[in-house]
Amino acid sequence: MLLLACTAPATDGACDEPAAVPYGEDADCDAACASDPDAFPGPCAHRAQRDAPAREVGPGSGGSGGSSGTWDGVVTVPDGDGDPVDRHFRVYVPESADPSVPAGLIFVLGGFRTDLYGLAEYTGMNAAADLGGFLVVYGEGEWRDYTGWVWVWYVYNRDFDGGWDQNPDLVYLSTIADTLFGLYEIDLSRVFVAGHSRGAALSVIAAYERPDLFAGFAAQSGFVATNGYDTRALDLDTPPGRAFVVHGTDDTDVPVEEGDAIAALLDETGWDYEYLRLEGVTHEWQPQYDPQLWSFLAR
């Protein structure tokens, strides 16, 4: 009796999952879902997930032994004058990052007034990392007397010795990356840099100067023209990457025309990018787009 009850019905023109047979076992559901993916929500959801292509993964860095959760670190790197300085960072490793599979990595850089310890709350990126299974590094510029004491990224070439490619912040970022590459299995094809305001300006510089490290960038309320970096970027042979740009039309700190200038640079240099030019939005990171940001960059 029970065995009969468990026999999957012959193809009878009706999708009988899951009441009569387990998900995935009724050929009638195959046909129904192929013609209309919304025809039978449960059976069609099962098939969509079962048949989804595996996530593409690039070469791994080979690291192991890093812990999950949040931890803080420090690196000693040159400052703008070439003198050594201790600079801090915070790492978030979600439980969803499988240690045996290369995971993506994104640097998140704040603006003038956001230290690295407030960035997880401000950007909401930890929750996106939970969903996407990627690692996050929160960094901050040097604490300097600039326009008052603030966290300052080196986004003006006049602020440090040497050319654009000798930017001390690039040494800071790459030193952290090297540390993480040794501790985790990082997908070397999916390392990105994102920032807000001045941190966004640095993310553009980092992506154009170090394409060997960064596959792309995200810039929210950022700039590229004020500091003249757009001219520099046009002279580079940086291979096109991916970029995600967010800027509000009511941003009074960094006008939206700076976001437009980033988009123009991306056009001229052939990058694949998404630009959210948000009506009425001011000088704020928009965390609701974090999952979309990651999906676009890492696809």
Binding-site ranges for another protein (CB under 8 A): 2-3, 5-8, 18-25, 40-43, 45-46, 48-50, 52, 94-96, 98, 118, 120-121, 124, 126-127, 130-132, 248, 250, 252-253, 278-284, 286-292, 295
Considering the complex, state which of residue 35 and residue 288 has its C-beta at the smaller distance from another protein.
288
Min separation Cβ 72 and another protein, Å:
14
Q: Quote the Cα angle for 233-144-207, to 5°.
A: 20
Backbone angles phi, psi at 32, to 5 degrees: -65, -45
Considering the complex, state which of residue 84 and residue 148 has its C-beta at the smaller distance from another protein.
148
Min separation Cβ 260 and another protein, Å:
18
Closest CA to 217 of 93, 60, 108: 108
Residue in the structure block whose two tokens are 């030193």: 175
C-alpha distance across the termini of the chain, in Å: 50
Min separation Cβ 275 and another protein, Å:
14
Considering the complex, state which of residue 227 and residue 286 has its C-beta at the smaller distance from another protein.
286
Considering the complex, state which of residue 197 and residue 203 has its C-beta at the smaller distance from another protein.
197
Min separation Cβ 201 and another protein, Å:
19
Name the burial class of residue 127, with classes exposed (0-12), middle (13-18) and buried (19+) by CB atoms within 10 angstroms of its CB. Answer: middle
Min separation Cβ 136 and another protein, Å:
12
Considering the complex, state which of residue 233 and residue 243 has its C-beta at the smaller distance from another protein.
243
Considering the complex, state which of residue 23 and residue 146 has its C-beta at the smaller distance from another protein.
23
Min separation Cβ 245 and another protein, Å:
15
Min separation Cβ 281 and another protein, Å:
5
Name the burial class of residue 245, with classes exposed (0-12), middle (13-18) and buried (19+) by CB atoms within 10 angstroms of its CB. Answer: buried
d(CA 91, CA 67): 10
d(CA 245, CA 87): 27
Considering the complex, state which of residue 167 and residue 221 has its C-beta at the smaller distance from another protein.
221
Q: Which two structure tokens, joined as six digits, stand for 292?
A: 């979309």
d(CA 272, CA 253): 27
Q: Which two structure tokens, joined as six digits, stand for 110?
A: 């704040």
Closest CA to 142 of 194, 86, 74: 86
Q: Which two structure tokens, joined as six digits, stand for 162?
A: 């040497």
